[in-house]
Amino acid sequence: MKISDFLTPADVVIDMRTSQKQQVLQELAGKAATSLGLQADYVASELLKREALGSTGMGNGVAIPHARLPMVKRPHGVLARLKPPINFDAIDGQPVDLIFLLLLPAPPDADQLTALALVARTLKVPGMLDRLRQAKSVSDLYAAMTG
């Protein structure tokens, strides 16, 4: 599995301006919902339920909000770079500027776990965060993430 299997250039947002975690999740949920033909409010609600269990802010300015949805047949991602960074209750207390939202099938299957692990691993590759932060366009950001 590759990130390009569940992330398209149409699902990449650059320099998104928002000031609150809930607002960014709702906007990104709307984008994902449109791509998948789902209700945006439902997707946002499921993402917020997951966040209530514990922040998906993994440190170093990165968050991977995710939710399992019964009507999702395969993983689907949305990548956003925020400007400026926002408080996301991240594990290291630092603001977040890179968000990879992931919608996954329910019940969990091997692909789902692979997709989440793949995103997390990719974001930890040395130099990756710098490349994502320095991307000048949506296509540059997509290319950096999908390698």
pLDDT (tens digit, 9 = 90+) per residue, 87-133? 999 999 999 999 999 999 887 666 656 899 999 999 999 999 999 99
pTM: 0.95
Nearest to 123 by CA among 103, 139, 101, 105: 101
* Tokens (6 digits) for 127: 């130099």
Superfamily the domain 9-142 falls into:
Mannitol-specific EII; Chain A (3.40.930.10)
* Tokens (6 digits) for 77: 């991602």
Indicate if 76 belongs to the active site. no
Nearest to 116 by CA among 103, 126, 129, 107: 103
Q: Which of 31, 66, 76, 81 is catalytic?
A: 66
According to the model, what pLDDT value does residue 147 have?
A: 86
